[in-house]
Amino acid sequence: MPTIGWFEILIVVAIAIVVLGPKDFPVMLKKAGSWIGAAKRYVSNIQNEVSNLEIHDEKINNEVKKEPKKDE
């Protein structure tokens, strides 16, 4: 899997400054940071929900195993 080095990041930043202009570049960085933060919170929330489901499922399975079997 290819990796992105500092030189590639520097090239992308330089092109972004040329395309957007030095005045709009900080605004774009702030928006990108906001989007990345929102995406991280969303993924974290999903991971917590899945973890809670797994814990809940384990509790239910343990309760079912502990119940004595009724002979009919």
Sequence ranges of the domains in the chain: 22-64
pLDDT band at 69 (very low <50, low <70, confident <90, very high): low
41-45 average pLDDT score: 96
Q: What is the mean pLDDT of the chain?
A: 86
**28: Cβ contacts below 8 Å, ≥ 6 apart:** 16, 20
33-39 average pLDDT score: 96
Handedness of CA 32, 38, 40, 43 (dihedral sign): negative
* Distance in angstroms (rounded) separating the CA atoms of residues 42 and 36: 10
Which one-letter amino acid corresponds to residue 1?
M
The counts of H helices and E strands in the chain are: 2, 0
